[in-house]
Structure 1
Amino acid sequence: MTTRRALLAAPLALPAFARGAAAQDAWPNRAVTMLLGYPPGGVTDFGARAVCERMGRALGQSLVVENRPGAATAVANSAAAQARPDGYTLLMGTSTLAINPALQPNLLPKDPRTELTPIGTVFRTAFVLHVHPSLPVRNTAELIAYAKANPGKLNFGSSGTGAVNHLCLELFRARAGIDVVHVPYRGGAAALIDLRTNRIQAMFSAAQEALPALREGATRGLAVSSKERMTVLPDLPPVADAVAGFDGVFWQGLFGPAGLPAPIVARAGAALREATTDPALVARMAEQGVALTAGDAEAMRRMLADETEMWGRLIREQNIRPE
């Protein structure tokens, strides 16, 4: 009897399955909401909007950026993780997905590696290691030597405890074996004002924030935090030239909720690759110190896993706590 009932029920189940498959194949047939955990303005918002506009052309539908700042981007991240996995709510996630689990484990999602679906990489942007011109150093090696000769006397700013540029400082301090004072600010712009006036002597700044000060001669650039040079600052070598293996960047990637169907991941990923390899957009973003990266879902998964391990280990070893 059970077998007979199952056979009778099977034809009724097929239309529902077919409708689900057809919906995936037709995706997207309406606008897609793209959540972003940052306020309007700034390179993260600018990059997300530029990439979404180009993706929308490839998909034939609008991708509408919805800014939901708050709780170290957890407001947007958790909303994306809890959304229906139908492809109509996606997330422009950032490095905070790799940092929050160790720094603020009470925030949701607790483990983005399992609670989100990676779709692809969007961009990487390095920080500029720069100093006040009165500091008698011209490169990273000289800065390390000066810090060792003057332990506890160098004030290093950051845009806030747990921010990526703060973690770059902690990584630099640990790898170089130096004793410097961390001075956290509420945002990179406030820290840069004090760097200009020599209230602090050094910091890792976002490239777009550092560029005006460097061009005016208000600060002196020593290096960039990425393992490769930046197009916009080709004369600055990587910190890794002096500190082996150093690589600390801010990144952005595209994610969906857990369980996002593979056909939607593939279609969204293909549109993302069209955007991140568009020559005009690549050049436009490079002017802001941003390197578009055309990595697929597996590349995004690996990067999230690697950085969750790297930053988590650093946060634990240095006993970093949120403000």
Structure 2
Amino acid sequence: MITRRAWLGAPLALPALLRPAAAQDAWPSRSVSVLLGYPPGGVTDFAARAVVERMGRALNQTMVLENRPGAATALANTAAAQARPDGYTLLMGTSTLAINPALQPNLTPKDPQKELTPIGTVFRTAFVLHVHPSVPARNTAELIAYAKANPGKLNFGSSGTGAVNHLCLELFRARAGIDVVHVPYRGGAAGLLDLRENRIQGMFSAVQEALPVIRDGVTRGLAISSKERAAAVPDLPPIADVLPGYDGVFWQGLFGPAGLPAPIVARAGAALREATTDTDLIARMAAQGVALTPGDGEALRRTLADETVLWGRLIREQNIRAE
């Protein structure tokens, strides 16, 4: 039974009940921060910045990319996961969300699949498998045959233990059944310098890093790490042509904190789709070896889940440990 006091108080309570929904409908009513766990410069920052700017135009609101590098991107990832789920702090998350739980389980968020809300996919970018010209291999099959005939004699660099290009090497090594030596560097540029000088013999490099040295004949491109060809290097066949199912890429996606309301997810996702289907932006990214990949929150959820399984199993099987 409703008392007279409760009845009289109902009109006062009604606005309070409606405020959360109204706030969601009005999103964004102020600037939105988008965190990124990488420093300024580089393709990851360049792509995120361009997409965020284009999203801001779609939403008619300021969106600010904030670089928060550190702890294998865990600083940015954690700040986003712990933010209020009001849509004003989002995250440009990357492959590290799938790698860190197995490689560095002490880092937070410990379970990104539960602690973050997927909004949509942003891009995929592959790595070029290239070698010093002294290696007598002109394709993936020949490289595997040469490595098997010379176990332990080929040195392959990476931009650091646990980096995606290192995991691409480990996946290649495991699938091909070869014995090559991993040489980790602090960043891809140092490894590329040693590859030029034949101090290491091969490397999986980002497309924009590999392309100039391949064109100059300093290294020889053999294949691309993605399951599909890359527009920037269309002549390079996928490793999957020789090792079926092989697919190693670096990806980026937009996330919010767990509990992000569905209306905000939908509006942010629509703006993200406008950005990732913008023809001018697609062309700009393709020139950097980056393929914008429009996809909703469910597509991003599947990517994170699948790669958490893929990289987690590889890290455990190969006993890979963080530096």
Please classify the TM superposition score into its range, dividing by the shorter chain length: over 0.9
**Match of 1:104?**
104
Question: Aligned to 2:80, what secondary structure does the other structure show?
Answer: helix
Equivalent residues in 2 for 1:40-59, closer than 5 Å: 40-59=40-59
Query: Identity of counterpart residues, as a percentage?
Result: 83
Letter in 2 for 1:62: T
Q: Take 2:272 and 2:238, find their aligned partners in 1: how far apart are those partners?
A: 28
- Residues 153 and 270 of structure 1: is their aligned pair in 2 closer, same or farther, counting only changes over 3 Å? same
1:280 matched to 2:280? The reply is yes
Q: CA deviation at 1:12?
A: 4.0
**Match of 2:161?**
161
Q: Take 2:185 and 2:301, find their aligned partners in 1: how far apart are those partners?
A: 31
The one-character-per-residue Cα deviations of 1:162-212 (angstroms, maximum 9, x if unpaired) are 000000000000000000000000000000000000000001001111111
1:198 matched to 2:198? The reply is yes
1:136 matched to 2:133? The reply is no
Q: Take 2:18 and 2:119, find their aligned partners in 1: how far apart are those partners?
A: 24
**Match of 1:247?**
247
**Match of 1:257?**
257
Letter in 2 for 1:139: N
Q: CA deviation at 1:21?
A: 0.8
Letter in 1 for 2:198: N
**Match of 2:84?**
84
**Match of 2:232?**
232
- Residues 127 and 14 of structure 1: is their aligned pair in 2 closer, same or farther, counting only changes over 3 Å? same
**Match of 2:173?**
173
Q: Take 1:208 and 1:69, find their aligned partners in 2: how far apart are those partners?
A: 21
- Residues 121 and 150 of structure 1: is their aligned pair in 2 closer, same or farther, counting only changes over 3 Å? same
The one-character-per-residue Cα deviations of 1:77-98 (angstroms, maximum 9, x if unpaired) are 0000000111000000000000
Show structure 2 runs of 5+ residues with no match: none
Letter in 2 for 1:101: P
Q: CA deviation at 1:134?
A: 1.1
Q: Take 1:301 and 1:7, find their aligned partners in 2: how far apart are those partners?
A: 45
Q: Take 2:13 and 2:198, find their aligned partners in 1: how far apart are those partners?
A: 71
Q: CA deviation at 1:64?
A: 0.4
Q: Take 1:143 and 1:20, find their aligned partners in 2: how far apart are those partners?
A: 59
**Match of 1:22?**
22
Q: Take 1:297 and 1:217, find their aligned partners in 2: how far apart are those partners?
A: 42
The one-character-per-residue Cα deviations of 1:190-246 (angstroms, maximum 9, x if unpaired) are 000000000000010011111111111111000000000000100000000111100
After TM superposition, which residue ranges in structure 1, 4 or more long, deviate above 2 angstroms?
Answer: 3-14
Letter in 1 for 2:49: R
Q: Take 2:7 and 2:317, find their aligned partners in 1: how far apart are those partners?
A: 59
- Residues 7 and 299 of structure 1: is their aligned pair in 2 closer, same or farther, counting only changes over 3 Å? farther
Question: Aligned to 1:191, what secondary structure does the other structure show?
Answer: helix
Letter in 2 for 1:292: L
**Match of 1:118?**
118
**Match of 1:309?**
309
Question: Aligned to 2:20, what secondary structure does the other structure show?
Answer: helix
TM-score norm. by structure 1 comes to 0.98
Show structure 1 runs of 5+ residues with no match: none
Question: Aligned to 2:264, what secondary structure does the other structure show?
Answer: helix
Q: CA deviation at 1:14?
A: 2.4
Q: CA deviation at 1:13?
A: 3.6
Letter in 1 for 2:158: S
Letter in 2 for 1:267: R
The one-character-per-residue Cα deviations of 1:255-299 (angstroms, maximum 9, x if unpaired) are 000000000000000000000000010011000000000000000
Q: CA deviation at 1:7?
A: 6.3
Q: Take 1:10 and 1:128, find their aligned partners in 2: how far apart are those partners?
A: 65
**Match of 2:296?**
296
Letter in 1 for 2:118: P
**Match of 2:187?**
187
Letter in 1 for 2:107: L
Q: CA deviation at 1:10?
A: 5.0
- Residues 305 and 9 of structure 1: is their aligned pair in 2 closer, same or farther, counting only changes over 3 Å? farther
Q: Take 2:212 and 2:17, find their aligned partners in 1: how far apart are those partners?
A: 57
Aligned residues: 322
